[in-house]
Chains A and B, each alone.
Chain A
Amino acid sequence: MSTQPIKLGKQRKSLFKDKVMQLLPDGGNLNACLTCGACASGCPATGLAGMDPRKFLRMASMGLDEEILKTEWVWNCTLCWRCLYVCPMKIDIPQLVYHARKSWPRDERPKGIRASCDMALKHETCSAMGASEEDFRFVVEDVLEEARANQPGWENLEAPINKSGAMYFLNQNSREPVTEPDEMVPLWKILHTVGADWTYATKGWGAENYCMFLADDENWERIVRIKAKAVDDLGCKYWVNTE
Chain B
Amino acid sequence: MRKTYGDAYAEDLRFVARRVVGEENFIDMTPNRSNNYCCGGGGGALQAGYTEGRRHFGKLKTDQILATGAAYCIAPCHNCHSQIHDLSEHFKGGWHTVHLWTLICLSLGCLGENERAYLGPDLAEVGL
Across the interface, B115 reaches (CB within 8 A) one of A48, A182, A210, namely A182
Across the interface, B3 reaches (CB within 8 A) one of A81, A210, A242, namely A81
Q: Which residues of A contact B43 (CB under 8 A)?
A: 77-80, 213
Given contacts A85-B34, A189-B110, contact A76 B50 (CB under 8 A): yes
> Is A45's beta carbon under 8 Å from chain B?
yes
Give the Cβ gap from B39 to chain A, nearest Cβ, in Å: 8
Tell me whether A44 and B34 are in contact (CB under 8 A). Answer: no
Q: Which residues of A contact B108 (CB under 8 A)?
A: 189-190, 193
Tell me whether A78 and B45 are in contact (CB under 8 A). Answer: yes
Q: Which residues of B contact A80 (CB under 8 A)?
A: 2-3, 37-38, 42-43
Q: Which residues of B contact A190 (CB under 8 A)?
A: 101, 104-105, 108
Tell me whether A48 and B56 are in contact (CB under 8 A). Answer: yes
Q: How many A-B residue pairs have CB under 8 A?
A: 119
User: How many chain B residues touch A (Cβ–Cβ < 8 Å)?
Assistant: 40
Q: Is the interface of B mostly helix, strand, loop or mixed?
A: helix
Residue of B45, B50, B79, B104 most packed against chain A (CB within 10 A):
B45
> Is A108's beta carbon under 8 Å from chain B?
no
Chain B residues within CB distance 8 Å of chain A: 2-3, 34-38, 40-45, 47-50, 53-54, 56-61, 77-79, 99, 101-102, 104-105, 108, 110-112, 114-115, 117
Could you write out 10 A-B pairs with CB less than 8 Å apart?
A42-B37, A44-B57, A44-B61, A82-B36, A110-B44, A185-B112, A186-B102, A189-B105, A190-B108, A210-B47
